[in-house]
Amino acid sequence: MPRVLFTSPECRAVVLDLRAGEELGDHHVRERAVVEVVSGRVSIEASREAADCESGTLLTFDPGEHHTVRALDDARLLLLLAPWPAPKHNTEAEKDHDQYLPVNAVTEPIPPAGPTSEST
């Protein structure tokens, strides 16, 4: 489940946690997307090329560029979308459902992944 960390007219910051094997199938956004692999490893396919990306990798996607993300290990991604929202991001029917957070709003931090009581 994506979590919005920050929203302003300049950009939106979102954190995504993916479990090993989870995939964000072929998709695109209308904004420029900047993705940082915060932790874990993912495979990213774009423009008919695939690359395995370790934590610390920073990628950019042009507006409308199709790509697929698959978690090779449990992974955390930071996604920046700019500008937010891009023109024609939402259809007229979707405008009332767009999430808006005031400038400088943040959500609570996501606790780091670690052993759970089930695994001990």
Answer CATH for 3-97 from 3.40.50.620, 2.40.50.140, 2.60.40.770, 2.60.120.10: 2.60.120.10
Distance CA 16, CA 112 (A): 13
Give the residue with greater pLDDT, 91 vs 51: 51
What is the residue extent of each domain of the chain? 3-97
The pTM score is 0.70
Residue 1 above 80 pLDDT? no
Rounded to an integer, the average pLDDT of 82-102 is 57
Could you report how far apart the first and last alpha carbons of the chain are, in Å? 25
Q: What is the token pair recorded at 99?
A: 């999430």
Rounded to an integer, the average pLDDT of 45-62 is 92
Distance CA 40, CA 74 (A): 6
Task: Report which residue type is found at 74.
Answer: D
- Percent of the chain surpassing pLDDT 90: 42
pLDDT tens track for 68-79: 999 999 999 999
